[in-house]
Chains A and B, each alone.
Chain A
Amino acid sequence: GAGVSQTPSNKVTEKGKYVELRCDPISGHTALYWYRQSLGQGPEFLIYFQGTGAADDSGLPNDRFFAVRPEGSVSTLKIQRTERGDSAVYLCASSEGVTGELFFGEGSRLTVL
């Protein structure tokens, strides 16, 4: 596609449920990032992939959060046992190469009731 695609755009779930958020980066972009944006705040780094491997997952808040990118393209962010504090917009970005400009998707808005 022309840009970074994220699905679903909105997800409402109940506390304790499992959630998957998908990111389809720009074709050919080797670097992929996940950020989280809480209400009234700027995006916060979660994880960075170069190819298939997570090169930096230091921003994942705890072990309930996990992300994969098995074929070096599409990535899935997985959240187990969701909590109300997980409610936020989850942003995906990709770039051509390590230092390339970031192109962001529109985000997946997660609401945990």
Chain B
Amino acid sequence: AQSVAQPEDQVNVAEGNPLTVKCTYSVSGNPYLFWYVQYPNRGLQFLLKYITGDNLVKGSYGFEAEFNKSQTSFHLKKPSALVSDSALYFCAVRDRLSGGYNKLIFGAGTRLAVHP
């Protein structure tokens, strides 16, 4: 079965420090991977995606993610956290049986808290 795991319910980091939000996936074949962010009272917003090519993907707001096939991971990273990055982050994988449209399987989410 296809699945996404976000092992941490919450990540706490001090402003200015690097941050990592972890994601592992279970999908046969080559995965299409995504990160979304959900701010309070706002809709989910797309951050970045990995389809193929360079394992380091750069996205919005200074975020990047590293695809690691051997570890089946797609961790979200940022070199220097901002208080405004505090939000709920979701990792997702496209269902391989979807035929190309965005039928996504989401993880349970990780709450990022950046402290001043």
Contacts and interface: CB of A to CB of B under 8 A. Distances in A.
Nearest to B91: A42
Interface residues of A, number: 29
Contacts of A91: 43-44
A3 B45 CA distance: 11
Given A40-B108, A42-B90, A3 B101 contact: no
Given A42-B106, A43-B106, A48 B43 contact: no
A48 B101 contact: yes
Contact of B90 (A31, A43, A100): A43
Contact of A43 (B44, B95, B98): B44
A72 B84 CA distance: 37
A99 B106 contact: no
Given A42-B90, A42-B92, A43-B106, A99 B101 contact: yes
Nearest to A31: B101
A4 B49 CA distance: 21
A106 B42 contact: yes
Nearest first, the 9 closest Cβ-Cβ pairs linking A and B are A42-B106, A104-B43, A104-B44, A106-B43, A98-B101, A43-B106, A101-B46, A45-B103, A42-B108
Interface of B: 4, 36, 41-46, 49, 90, 92, 95, 98, 100-109
